[in-house]
Amino acid sequence: MKFTAKTIAEFLKGEVLGNPELVITDVSRIEEGKPGTLSFLANPKYTEYIYTTGASVVIVNKDFRPKHELQLTLIKVDDAYQAIASLLQLKESMKPRKTGIHERSVMEESSSAGKDLYLGAFAYVGEDCVIGDNVKIYPHAYIGDNVKIGDNSIIFAGVKIYHECVIGNDCILHAGVVIGADGFGFAPDTKKDYKKVPQVGNVILKDRVELGANTTIDRAMMGSTIIGKGVKIDNLVQVAHNVAIGENTVIAALTGIAGSARIGKECMMGGQVGIVGHSKIADKVMIGAQAGVSSDVKKEGEILLGSPTMPIRDYNKSYVYFRKLPSLAIRIGELEKKIRELEGNDN
């Protein structure tokens, strides 16, 4: 990678402030920037670093106004985070992609794949699978029988996809993801013993889903567990059987969604969130880290915190007084004492 500030600004439809002929050869984080690199400032928490960074060129939002003079060259754009994403996508697209079928992989004969398949060493594709064009299956991936994988999807090392599951186009499944393991269903046989409820459904990932490392999506008891188009799920997340997640919902790490929950579109969940089974969450709901949703959330766009959840403003107010509880208790004790005095009954 070797570009001038001017070339980059043109690609980003941005404006150069400083030396347009500066050449950059790599990217860097603003707090670790080195000469000859391009950095960006999007999160205001990092603003201080723009005055000390070693980076030669920094992409900033259009409305950025430096408080001191800057030695470096700026590129002003509408959205600095978007801009760096576009640049990195360009950089990535120039890297060679994995291709070819490793001689130590196995695809059973009844399965088929489109053009430009990459099948890594020790990857396994079972019977009757249908794999699209330009799919990349890394080493040690396991694709069970009757699985469908759409075009351009990437299945990283050691992903396991159980039989009959369906992966859309342009999906990315990171290493260790498990799709389609049995949902957690047991019928108490007597009060002492459990009978397994076979899970005869499957999992469907729609297009453009990305799943983080070691995340697990269980197959439905009947029907399908459905992950909507454009959903992004972080690492170590549990999605139980028969859950349905709406389009473009984003879920951070270590969250657990219990069976048959229905999550709306464009929701956001922080890390370690829990969602109770059989609940319905409206669209655009935001749930803060470590919160526990124990019932339906009917109001679109609600922002929640706490376990069980409350509107975030209410939770924060209550928590202010939780911190002060010992002093509130003392004040109550003093009031009681004064009342007794006023009543002339001071025992």
Give the footprint of its own copies on residues 150-209 (CB under 8 A): 156-158, 160, 162, 172, 174-176, 178, 181-182, 184-187, 189, 191-198, 200
Q: How far is the CB of 240 from its own copies (least distance, A)?
A: 7
Q: Which residue, among 284, 215, 307, has the nearest Cα to 253 in the 3D structure?
A: 215
Distance CA 274, CA 239 (A): 10
Are the beta carbons of 62 and 77 closer than 8 angstroms? Answer: yes
Contacting its own copies (CB under 8 A), which of 7, 47, 61, 82?
82
Interacting residue with its own copies among 266, 281, 285, 304 (CB under 8 A): 266
Give the footprint of its own copies on residues 46-75 (CB under 8 A): none
Minimum gap (Å) between residue 76 Cβ and its own copies: 17
Q: Scan residues 222-251 and list those touching its own copies (CB under 8 A).
A: 222-223, 230, 232, 234-236, 238, 240, 242, 247-248, 250
Nearer to its own copies, 66 or 317 (CB): 317
Say whether 140 is catalytic: no
Catalytic residue among 102, 140, 163, 241: 241
Contact between 339 and its own copies by CB under 8 A: the answer reads yes
Please say whether the beta carbons of 289 and 273 come within 8 A: yes
Nearest residue (CB) to its own copies, 115 versus 325: 325
Q: Is residue 11 near its own copies by the rule CB under 8 A?
A: no
Nearest residue to 182 (alpha-carbon basis) of 219, 146, 216: 219
Helix axes 325-342, 312-323, angle to 10 degrees: 60
Full strand arrangement of the beta sheet holding 73-77: 15-17, 73-77, 57-61, 37-41, 26-27
DSSP state, 341?
H
* Under rule CB under 8 A, residue 3 binds its own copies: no
Which DSSP string do the residues of 247-274 spell out, in sequence order? TT-EE-TT-EE-TT-EE-TT-EE-TT-E
Active site residues: 241
